[in-house]
């Protein structure tokens, strides 16, 4: 079995200003500025590579400095890049963060919006060579669905991170997912959309396990749901017939204890590490991969930044054994 993860998704150049207060209309402020790579797709591809699996990244990039940055970073992290050249500018995110950690964000999808089902179809052999396909929803749905269809045709495992929370996921895409990995907000958004059930996201973490499992079964009857719970770790719910090497249908995995300084990209770290661990150690129980993903994501919160904060496998092992 190949030890490769193919990630399909977005690349953004993040521009971050830290200010005392968020700017009001018409106001001009000065603040501390920094920039770095981001985009859920690239963050997750970086996590896959640094967690020790071979990583391929399918995306769309502009012919500009942002595109050059993506290419240079892919080389540095040994990420096998398959990019659709776009005439649009490379994706960007403008982020203001105030002193209490609140933020305002504007995303310019740019080239990311050009990722097409046609281009993804040209990557079918690459997808078929993978053990796991991982995608999020910052890219056009037809492209993601084409990737999942190619993976399913080749019996490659599919992991869908249904983020951001406002993404409208067609039932046909959910049907192609072996595993979905929402956070609490994304879980509730998808539950309302697909099962007509309204649940307060703040109540998910403290919900009775059997009740949470029942909700997961309604959302993805055929597959595995992993709900990430921030500092509380994660909850997993398997279909009765597909336990993925686990003894139990549902259980929680507590988070690792760390001193977080920036939880941006924690979900991306979790997803990349989960896919990498599943790919590298396919015969191990799913619970082992979740333990690893929790540790990996926890360590990422001790560093500032998105893709730049992803730890290496050796650092995770040195820290947690
Ligand atoms: P998202 O970043 O998508 O909102 P979560 O906040 O649920 O996702 O975090 C994803 C994962 O990151 C969690 O399941 C956990 O493993 C880890 N994590 C997040 N915050 C913390 C924290 N404060 N301490 C330890 N681990 C954390």
CATH of residue 132: 3.40.1190.20
| pLDDT at residue number 65 | 97
* Residues 291-300: tens digit of each pLDDT: 999 999 999 9
| pLDDT at residue number 137 | 97
Q: Which residue is catalytic, options 83, 114, 178, 268? A: 268
Instruction: Give me 74's structure tokens.
Output: 């892919």
Query: From the CA of 223, how far away is ligand 1's center (Å)?
Result: 22
| pLDDT at residue number 44 | 98
- Establish whether residue 258 lines the binding site of ligand 1, counting it when its CB lies within 6 angstroms of any ligand atom: yes
Does the structure show a pLDDT above 60 at 91?
A: yes
| pLDDT at residue number 2 | 53
- Establish whether residue 272 lines the binding site of ligand 1, counting it when its CB lies within 6 angstroms of any ligand atom: no
The model scores a pTM over 0.85: yes
* Residues 61-79: tens digit of each pLDDT: 999 999 999 999 999 999 9
- Which segments of the chain does DSSP mark as H helices, in order? 40-50, 65-76, 117-121, 124-128, 141-153, 171-174, 184-195, 209-219, 266-280, 286-300, 313-320
Phi, psi of 84 (to 5 degrees): -80, 120
Domain count, the chain: 1
98: number of Cβ within 10 Å? 16
CA nearest ligand 1 atom 2, residue: 267
Peptide bond into 298 cis (omega under 30): no
Query: From the CA of 45, how far away is ligand 1's center (Å)?
Result: 18
Q: Could you give the dihedral angle defined by the CA atoms of residues 77, 279, 271 and 144, in that order, rounded to the nearest 10 degrees?
A: 90
C-beta of residue 48 within 8 angstroms of C-beta of residue 30? no
| pLDDT at residue number 1 | 41
* Residues 17-70: tens digit of each pLDDT: 999 999 999 999 999 999 999 999 999 999 999 999 999 999 999 999 999 999
CA nearest ligand 1 atom 8, residue: 267
Does the structure show a pLDDT above 80 at 213?
A: yes
Residue 32 and residue 30: Cα distance in Å, rounded?
A: 7
* pLDDT, mean of residues 156-174: 96
Assess whether 166 carries a catalytic annotation: no
Q: Of the residues 163, 258, 263, 265, which should be mutated to test ligand 1's pocket, given the most ligand atoms within 8 Å of the CB? A: 263
Q: CB within 8 A of 24, min separation 6: which ones?
A: none
Q: Pick the residue with more confidence: 104 or 158?
A: 158
* Residues 252-282: tens digit of each pLDDT: 999 999 999 888 899 999 999 999 999 999 9
* Residues 120-148: tens digit of each pLDDT: 999 999 999 999 999 999 999 999 999 99
* pLDDT, mean of residues 201-206: 96
Question: Which range marks the domain in which residue 72 is found?
Answer: 4-320
Tell me which residue of 299, 264, 294 sits closest to 277, measured CA to CA: 294
State the pairing for strand pair 132-135/103-108.
unpaired
CB burial of 142-172 (b: ≥16 within 10 Å; e: otherwise) equals: ebbbbbbbbbbeeebbbbbbbbebebebeee
């Amino acid at each position: 079995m190949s030890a490769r993860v193919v990630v399909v998704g977005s690349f953004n150049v993040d521009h971050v200003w830290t200010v005392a207060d968020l700017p009001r209309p018409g106001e001009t402020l000065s603040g501390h500025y920094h920039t770095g790579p981001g985009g859920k797709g690239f963050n997750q591809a970086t996590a896959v590579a640094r967690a020790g699996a071979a990583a391929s990244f399918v995306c769309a990039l502009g012919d500009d400095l942002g595109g050059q940055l993506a290419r240079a970073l892919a080389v540095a992290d040994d990420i096998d890049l398959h990019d659709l050249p776009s005439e649009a500018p490379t994706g960007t995110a403008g982020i203001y963060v105030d002193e209490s950690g609140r933020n305002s964000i504007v995303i310019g999808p740019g080239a990311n919006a050009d990722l097409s089902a046609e281009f993804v179809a040209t990557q079918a052999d690459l997808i078929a060579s993978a053990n796991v396909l991982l995608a999020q929803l910052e890219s056009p749905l037809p492209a993601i669905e084409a990737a999942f269809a190619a993976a399913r045709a080749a019996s490659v495992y599919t992991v869908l991170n249904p983020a951001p929370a406002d993404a409208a996921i067609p039932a046909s895409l959910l049907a192609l997912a072996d595993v979905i990995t929402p956070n609490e907000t994304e879980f509730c958004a998808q539950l309302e959309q697909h099962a007509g059930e309204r649940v307060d996201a703040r109540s998910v973490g403290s919900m009775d396990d059997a009740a949470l499992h029942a909700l997961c079964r309604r959302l993805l009857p055929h597959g595995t749901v992993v709900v990430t719970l921030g500092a509380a770790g994660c909850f997993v719910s398997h279909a009765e017939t597909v336990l993925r090497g686990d003894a139990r249908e549902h259980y929680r995995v507590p988070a690792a204890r760390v001193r977080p300084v920036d939880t941006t990209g924690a979900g991306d770290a979790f997803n990349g590490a989960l896919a990498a661990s599943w790919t590298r150690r396919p015969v191990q129980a799913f619970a082992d991969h979740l333990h690893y993903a929790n540790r990996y994501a926890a360590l990422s919160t001790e560093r500032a930044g998105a893709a730049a904060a992803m730890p290496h496998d050796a650092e995770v092992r040195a820290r947690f054994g």
